[in-house]
Amino acid sequence: MSRSFEDIEARIAALGQGGSEAVPAARELLALGEEVLETWIAARGDVPTDELKEGFRILALHRQGAKGDPSFNACRETARELVYHYNLITLEPDDPATASRVAMMSMIAGHLCLFVGGKMEVAGLGEFCCSSRPVRAGGG
């Protein structure tokens, strides 16, 4: 959770360019999606869950992140599409479409990153206003 959204976004884009092996790339993209959601949850003062939902932590993290903020569900299907593409790539790594699936998974992860980054900015959370957060939280 130490990386900035800009760094995460850059790494996601790099993985989508190709050049990495597909299965490790898919694993990393899924982990980057989790990292984005962890950042949102932690910025709201919660501890990101380690639980799984339907076998995936990212889906449990999304559910946790949407608690008390129904508009966060606008990225629910994005998280699910990330899982879907992860499954396609890891279950059928030799499929001729694997390279394009990795590129698509990168775009999906990028969308999640942009959406959550935008939500954090609107909500005044996280890295966008670190100096003002203690003031708003009543601590300074």
Question: Quick one: which of 73, 99, 132, 136 contacts another protein (CB under 8 A)?
Answer: 73
Kind and range of the H or E run holding 26:
helix 22-43
Of 10, 14, 42, 104, the one binding another protein by CB under 8 A: 104
Q: Which is nearer to another protein, 78 or 98 (CB)?
A: 78
Is residue 111 involved in binding another protein (CB under 8 A)?
Answer: yes
Nearer to another protein, 134 or 136 (CB): 136
Cα separation, 79 vs 1, in Å, equals 18
Residues 59 and 53 sit within 8 Å (Cβ to Cβ): yes
Of the candidates 121, 123, 127, 129, which one interacts with another protein according to CB under 8 A? 121
Q: Using the rule CB under 8 A, give the single segment among 17-25, 41-49, 81-89, 129-137 that binds another protein.
A: 81-89
Determine the longest span between alpha carbons in the chain, in angstroms: 57
Q: Which of 7, 21, 69, 77 binds another protein (CB under 8 A)?
A: 77
If you search the block for the tokens 């076998």, which residue do you land on?
55
Check residue 99 for interaction with another protein (CB under 8 A).
no
Q: Which stretch binds another protein (CB under 8 A): 19-27, 29-37, 39-47, 78-86?
A: 78-86
Residue that has been written with the tokens 């990495």 in this structure: 20
Least distance CB 47 / another protein (angstroms) = 25
Q: What are phi and psi of 133, to 5 degrees?
A: -60, -45
Residue 50: φ, ψ to 5°: -105, 5
The only residue of 103, 123, 127, 129 in contact with another protein, by rule CB under 8 A? 103
Q: Is the dihedral of CA 18, 22, 25, 29 positive or negative?
A: positive
